[in-house]
Amino acid sequence: MKRYTLVFILLLLPFATYAQHFTDSLRTPNRNGGIVVLKQSAKIDSLVNGLKPKTPVKSPITPIFQHRVDSVQLDSLGNPIVKGYLNKEGYRIQIFTGANSREDKEKALKLQRRSEELFPDMKSYCSFISPRWVVRIGDFSTREEAMLRITEVRESGLSKEVRLVRCKVQIPIY
Map out the domains of the chain with their CATH numbers: 2-49 (no CATH), 84-173 (3.30.70.1070)
Residue 70: DSSP 8-state: G
Residue 83 is predicted with a pLDDT of 82
**Which three-class secondary structure state does DSSP give residue 21?**
coil
- Mean pLDDT for 38-44 is 73
Largest Cα–Cα distance in the chain?
Answer: 85
Asked if 171 and 139 touch (Cβ cutoff 8 Å), the reply is yes
Write out the DSSP string of 136-174.
EEEEESSHHHHHHHHHHHHHHTS-S--EEEEEEEEEEE-
What are the distances in angstroms from CA 143 to CA 2, 163, 164? Answer: 62, 12, 9
Asked if 167 and 90 touch (Cβ cutoff 8 Å), the reply is yes
Give the chain's end-to-end CA distance (angstroms, integer): 69
Residue 60 has pLDDT above 80, yes or no: no
Taking only the tens place, the pLDDT of each residue in 108-148 is 999 999 999 999 999 999 999 989 999 999 999 999 999 99
> Which of 104 and 24 is assigned the larger pLDDT?
104
Residue 78 is predicted with a pLDDT of 76
Taking only the tens place, the pLDDT of each residue in 75-99 is 777 777 878 888 999 999 999 999 9
- Rounded to the nearest integer, the mean pLDDT of the chain is 80
Residue 7 is predicted with a pLDDT of 72
Residue 168 is predicted with a pLDDT of 93
Q: How far apart are CA 96 and CA 107, in angstroms?
A: 9
Report the share of the chain in percent with pLDDT over 70.
70
What are the distances in angstroms from CA 163 to CA 18, 91, 94, 120? Answer: 51, 10, 5, 19
